[in-house]
């Protein structure tokens, strides 16, 4: 039946040339009857369409997930490997405050003479000051030291943001704030046609200290724990921005490292096809950031070409389902009942059906036109 329908549609221009408007109307009428007969066993009404066959509402990805990510963003005073610190240790016997320049190594340690090596990577500045003071006491270097730390230079990561963002480019982001949120904010947010699934492409294998907010850690509340992150060369992580904050996802999954690439693809939506009794049948692009309803589609196709047109077929292909879903709707009911004005999905085929009433109308209209009298509409 599908092959026959396709063949008839292909031959419509030739039939119209041979038999005029009457021939075209008759063929479309027979095509509607054939479609109805073949699909009668698996037709769903628009107002009773099962949930699994309904497309999800379209969301504007330009604002999605950013507030949730912002609430979990790491503090700006976190010490990271590569930071240059100025450490001052006062014991009460000092005549002046003399700072010592210390570079944080790749393992997050800092060498403070005469105290020695102290792990400060992943800690906030006040916590690092307490850690150095505690190390001095435990090692019998000082009894009551007062430690002050100033960050002279922050380590920055070069992060590339590409794809459907307002301002793609390469950004130098402080290591402590190198997360997905900061990268997207630096790129001035997403475009309205951006796909909600963002890809983080890792630059290569590395081992480094990362801060993470861990409520189950043994450290004091509000502090940060130090941990090691390892990733394989070329590893790719996909993050669905619509699900951020759900399923116990943590900020650590969205941390970035030097050389990482954040790629935001364009949302790929199949076009819709409108056929039958409309003024402008054809293929139409599906909008990326707004819902499309049945009446919207009819308006997009220039409205109905027949004032008696009412019945509509929607053919919808569902992923994982071998055969398409056939949906029946009525335009007059859709104008009165929002449940009948169903949401259109990308790739849908919408056909305004030729019925007996529309066929008779077109037939009489053709006879009146041939007779030279006033047309019916």
10 Å Cβ neighbour count for 142? 19
Q: Are residues 91 and 46 part of one domain?
A: no
Q: Is residue 366 part of a domain?
A: yes
Q: Are 254 and 179 in contact (CB under 8 A)?
A: yes
Per-residue pLDDT tens digits for 98-120:
788 999 998 899 999 999 999 99
Q: Are residues 365 and 288 part of one domain?
A: yes
6: containing domain? 2-59+269-371
**What is 159-216 written as a DSSP string?**
EEEEESBSS-EEEEEEGGG-BHHHHHHHTT-B-TTB-SEEEEE--S-EEEEEEE--TT
Closest CA to 269 of 5, 61, 2: 61
Which class for 7: exposed (0-12), middle (13-18), buried (19 or more C-beta within 10 A)?
exposed
SS3 state at 255:
strand
Q: Are residues 99 and 190 part of one domain?
A: no
Q: Is residue 376 part of a domain?
A: no
Give the strand pairing for 349-352 and 311-316.
antiparallel
Last residue of a domain, one of 227, 249, 264: 264
Q: Is residue 341 part of a domain?
A: yes
Angle (CA) 4-9-11 rounded to 5° is: 95
Q: Are 211 and 176 in contact (CB under 8 A)?
A: yes
Residue 34 has a pLDDT of: 55
Q: Is residue 377 part of a domain?
A: no
Residue 216 has a pLDDT of: 43
Q: Are residues 160 and 149 part of one domain?
A: no
| Residues of the chain with confidence (pLDDT) below 50 | 1-8, 10, 12, 15-16, 18-22, 38-40, 205, 207-209, 212-230, 374
Q: Are residues 122 and 21 part of one domain?
A: no
Q: Are residues 71 and 204 part of one domain?
A: yes
Say how many domains are in the chain. Answer: 3
CATH code for the domain in which residue 37 is found: 3.10.560.10
Residue 334 has a pLDDT of: 92
Q: Are 224 and 124 in contact (CB under 8 A)?
A: yes
Residue 304 has a pLDDT of: 93
Q: In Å, how far are 32, 36, 43, 44, 236 from 40, measured between CA atoms? A: 12, 6, 6, 9, 46
Q: Are residues 185 and 304 part of one domain?
A: no
**Cα separation, 82 vs 108, whole angstroms:** 8
Residue 280 has a pLDDT of: 95
Q: Are residues 310 and 288 part of one domain?
A: yes
Q: Are residues 131 and 163 part of one domain?
A: no
Q: Are residues 187 and 71 part of one domain?
A: yes
Last residue of a domain, one of 132, 153, 174: 153
Q: Are residues 206 and 101 part of one domain?
A: no
CATH code for the domain in which residue 126 is found: 3.30.1950.10
Residue 276 has a pLDDT of: 92
SS3 state at 52:
helix
Q: Is residue 99 part of a domain?
A: yes
Last residue of a domain, one of 264, 295, 319: 264
CATH code for the domain in which residue 198 is found: 3.10.560
Q: Is residue 100 part of a domain?
A: yes
Q: Which helix or strand (DSSP H or E) is residue 230 part of? A: strand 225-231
Q: In Å, how far are 213, 221, 299, 315, 319 from 347, measured between CA atoms? A: 43, 51, 18, 9, 11
Distance, C-alpha 295 to centroid of its chain: 26
> Which residues face 312 on adjacent strands?
329, 352
Instruction: Label each residue of 306-347 as H, E or C.
Output: CCCCCEEEEEECCCCCCCCEEEEEEHHHHHHCCCCCCECCCC
Mean pLDDT, the chain, rounded, equals 78
């Amino acid at each position: 039946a599908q092959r026959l329908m396709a063949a008839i549609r292909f031959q419509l221009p030739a039939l119209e040339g041979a038999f005029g408007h009457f021939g075209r109307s008759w063929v479309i009428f027979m095509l509607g009857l054939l479609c109805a007969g073949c699909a009668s066993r698996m037709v769903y009404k628009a107002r009773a369409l099962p949930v699994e066959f309904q497309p999800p509402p379209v969301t504007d990805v330009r604002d999605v997930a950013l507030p949730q990510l912002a609430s979990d963003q790491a503090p700006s005073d976190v010490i990271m490997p590569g930071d240059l610190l100025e450490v001052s240790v006062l014991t009460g016997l000092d005549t002046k405050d003399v700072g010592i320049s210390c570079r944080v190594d790749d393992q997050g340690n800092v060498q403070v003479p005469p105290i020695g090596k102290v792990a400060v990577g992943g800690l906030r500045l006040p916590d690092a000051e307490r850690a150095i003071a505690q190390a001095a006491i435990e090692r019998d270097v000082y009894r009551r030291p007062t430690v002050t730390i100033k960050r002279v230079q922050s380590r920055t990561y070069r992060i590339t943001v590409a794809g459907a963002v307002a301002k793609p480019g390469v950004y130098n982001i402080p290591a402590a704030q190198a997360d997905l949120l900061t990268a997207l904010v630096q790129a001035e947010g997403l475009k309205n046609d951006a796909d909600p699934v963002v890809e983080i492409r890792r630059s290569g294998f590395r081992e480094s200290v990362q801060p993470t907010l861990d409520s189950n850690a043994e450290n004091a509340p509000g502090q940060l724990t130090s941990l090691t992150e390892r990733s394989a060369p070329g590893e790719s992580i996909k993050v669905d921005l619509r699900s951020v904050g759900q399923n116990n996802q943590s900020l650590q999954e969205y941390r970035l490292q030097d050389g990482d690439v954040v790629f935001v693809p364009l949302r790929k939506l199949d076009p819709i096809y409108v056929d039958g009794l409309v003024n402008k049948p054809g293929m139409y692009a599906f909008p990326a950031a707004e819902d499309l309803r049945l009446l919207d589609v009819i308006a997009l196709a220039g409205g109905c070409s027949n004032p008696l047109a009412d019945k509509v077929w929607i053919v919808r292909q569902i992923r994982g389902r071998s055969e398409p879903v056939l949906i029946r709707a009525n335009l007059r009911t859709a104008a009165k009942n929002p449940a009948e004005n169903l949401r259109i999905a990308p790739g849908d085929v919408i056909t305004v059906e030729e019925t007996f009433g529309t066929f008779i109308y077109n037939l009489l209209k053709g006879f009146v036109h041939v007779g030279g009298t006033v047309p019916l509409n």
